[in-house]
A and B are shown apart, each in its own frame.
Chain A
Amino acid sequence: MNVDAQKNIHGNVQRVSYPRNRKDHRLILRSILFLFPACSLLLVFFVGPILLTFYFAFTNMSLTGTAAQAIEFVGFKNFMYMFSDPNFRVSIVKTIVFLVFSAVIGQQVLGFILALLMKERNRTFRRIIGTTVLAGWVTPEIVVAFAFFAFLNEQGTLNTILQSIGIKPIAWLFTFPMVSVIIANIWHGTAFSMLVFQSALDNVPKSLEEAAIIDGATRWQRLWRITIPVIKGQIVTNMVLVTLQTLGVFTLIYALTGGGPGMSTQTLPIYMYNQAFVNYQLGYGTAISLAMLIIGIIASLLYIRLLKVKV
């Protein structure tokens, strides 16, 4: 597909029937016209808010009181406050725990195991398991929250099962809130990693595996010495992508635990929301969102670096 595209582009450029300058001129004009709707939307609603983040983060903007009328530039005050704010530090830790256990470890490892085990299995069986995992992915976040609210409830499904093997009911959402949101997010997101790894595994050259079998390598050795090194690139790319997706998770946590009890599941998006819309500190809320944005920007740059796309 890629090769064809290159040919197309070159093909078009070679077939110049107008005098060269005039053609170029028209071509550029036409390109601008075609790009205009998309670019204007992106400028106003995408680039605009990002630039505003950088501006508002240095103001004392507020939803109520005097600061609501007149926005004042306060320099690094929000950031000084942020670094001395123990709640911010708690949120950073909560975010890292959530990211590491639900995205980097949970979704990636589970997705990989699923993809690996599903390879070379019966087709119908593959399809049934694949569909169940995908069901979690297709389900909207807010419904995922309800499903897990019931699943992890004191009288919920999980406790019913555990009781049958003699374990006393646990109020999961109150006793282990972080574990609860992590499990819910793994359930929701694993299908993505599974799909990525399925296509990655399909592209591992058969000859490599066969050569290893002839050389007497065990299953385990083949996995660590061949499969994983070959798909290393996809693993890293997927890791960055899943981390970025998980960094933005708001709805699931908000609807399931509301960030609580206390601050136990208050990740950065929840803390940002609370500061901006519950405490009406828009300026400070924006400073938190800038922190999140910078993490996002670094990870995104890493992501396009890793992709090494030809454009």
Chain B
Amino acid sequence: MTRRTLEKVIPYIVLSFLGVVFLLPLLWILFSSFDPHATVSLKVPKTISMENFASVLADKTNQRSLLIGVFLSLGQAMITVVAATLAAYPLSRYQLKYKKPFLLTILFMTSLPITAVMVPVYQLFMFLNLQDSLLGTMLFLASSSLPYAIWMTKNFMDAVPLELEESAWIDGASVLKGLQKVVAPLMIPGMFTVAIFTFTLSWGNFFVPYILIQSPEKLPASVTIYQFFGQYGMVEYGKLAAFSLIYTIPPIILYMISQRFMSEGFSFGGATKG
């Protein structure tokens, strides 16, 4: 082999190796979820069986926890998107005196680790009598994703041309109507991206509901799945794998949808020309 071809081939070999390494930990979950007799060892199932999925999904506790997970994450995403869109409007359109320090503070908040404040958040929830409240947890999750959501939404809004809004004002629309009827529809891809992003974060969040919610019947999927692991996981590996897979599917689908939105991009150029 010449040096040239070697230089061409090596990256492919290294990348293929890394790809396999990254795939390996997932294989166990994939194989075991379809195998009712799964153990902790990696084993290709003899027949593909849906038994694990059926029994996980038939369980009332699991059903409820998945629904609560959807309720928490969806509610959180909606609150975040509405609050972030409203906040982004003056930040994107007006020149305000304290805009710069405000935006810098928002940016600063995006990178603070939420884990660090969970102990005082628990105390705050006791003080506000919000402990064990799904609504309180939802509001906290919304607040923790707000800084990032505001930042993203503002950038998306900056890309919406002002001319479109102005023509709506000339036709007699108020600012709020203009935002609702002109800006928001154009920002739907951006708002969906923010919603998907924050939904995924809340859906996968274990620590926050684990700390803030105590009643077993209020726990979302992220916590139930952990308890399942402690109670049956060591015995019923197949079910644990199936539950994990069911729980992982929403983030995967949402991620793929958001990629769609991102690649389509924002083509506002044509709207102002006509």
Residues of A within 8 A of B (CB): 1-2, 4-5, 8-9, 11-13, 15, 27-28, 30-31, 34-35, 37-39, 41-42, 44-46, 48-50, 52-53, 56, 61, 110, 113-114, 117-118, 121, 125, 128-129, 132-136, 138-144, 146-151, 153, 155-158, 160-161, 187, 219, 240-241, 244-245, 247-251, 255, 269, 272-273, 276-277, 282, 285-286, 289, 292-293, 296-297, 299-301, 303-304, 307, 309, 311
Contacts and interface: CB of A to CB of B under 8 A. Distances in A.
Contacts of A61: 123
B144 A38 contact: no
Interface string B1-39: 000000100011011101100111111110010000001
B119 A247 contact: no
Contacts of B82: 37
Interface in B243-274: 244, 247-248, 251-252, 255
A150 B38 CA distance: 11
A28 to B, nearest CB: 7
B187 to A, nearest CB: 14
Nearest to A157: B42
Contacts of A148: 25
A269 B225 CA distance: 21
A56 B116 contact: no
A119 B121 CA distance: 44
A304 B146 contact: no
Given A146-B29, A255-B226, A304-B107, A49 B117 contact: yes
B116 A132 contact: no
Given A11-B162, A155-B41, A44 B143 contact: yes
B247 to A, nearest CB: 6
Interface of B is mostly: helix
Given A34-B86, A255-B229, A1 B25 contact: no
Given A42-B147, A153-B40, A282 B23 contact: no
B15 A292 contact: no
8 contacts: A5-B159, A31-B96, A50-B117, A117-B15, A138-B255, A157-B24, A244-B112, A272-B116
Contacts of A114: 15, 18
B143 A45 contact: yes
Given A2-B158, A247-B113, A160 B41 contact: yes
B104 A4 contact: no
A248 B244 contact: no
Interface stretch (B45-53, B54-62, B201-209): B201-209
Given A35-B90, A160-B41, A1 B158 contact: yes
Nearest to A1: B159
B135 interface: no
A62 B226 CA distance: 27
A129 B29 CA distance: 19
A143 B25 contact: no
Interface of B: 7, 11-12, 14-16, 18-19, 22-29, 32, 39-42, 79, 82-84, 86-87, 89-96, 99-100, 103-104, 107-109, 111-124, 139-140, 142-144, 146-147, 150, 155, 158-159, 161-162, 166, 175, 200, 203-204, 206-207, 211, 222, 225-226, 229, 233, 237, 240-241, 244, 247-248, 251-252, 255
Contact of A41 (B11, B94, B143, B207): B143
B96 A139 contact: no
Contacts of B143: 41-42, 44-46
A27 B111 contact: no
A35 B87 CA distance: 4
Given A41-B83, A56-B123, A1 B112 contact: no
A262 B159 CA distance: 53
A250 B42 CA distance: 27
A13 B26 CA distance: 54
A141 B206 contact: yes
B106 to A, nearest CB: 8
Contacts of B116: 53, 247-248, 269, 272, 289, 292-293, 296
A146 B244 contact: yes
Contacts of A8: 92-93, 158, 161-162
B175 to A, nearest CB: 6
A244 B113 contact: yes
B19 A128 contact: yes
Contact of B28 (A147, A245, A309): A147
Given A37-B87, A46-B146, A151-B25, A125 B12 contact: yes
Nearest to B254: A138
A84 to B, nearest CB: 21
Contacts of A38: 83-84, 86-87, 146, 150
Contacts of B32: 150
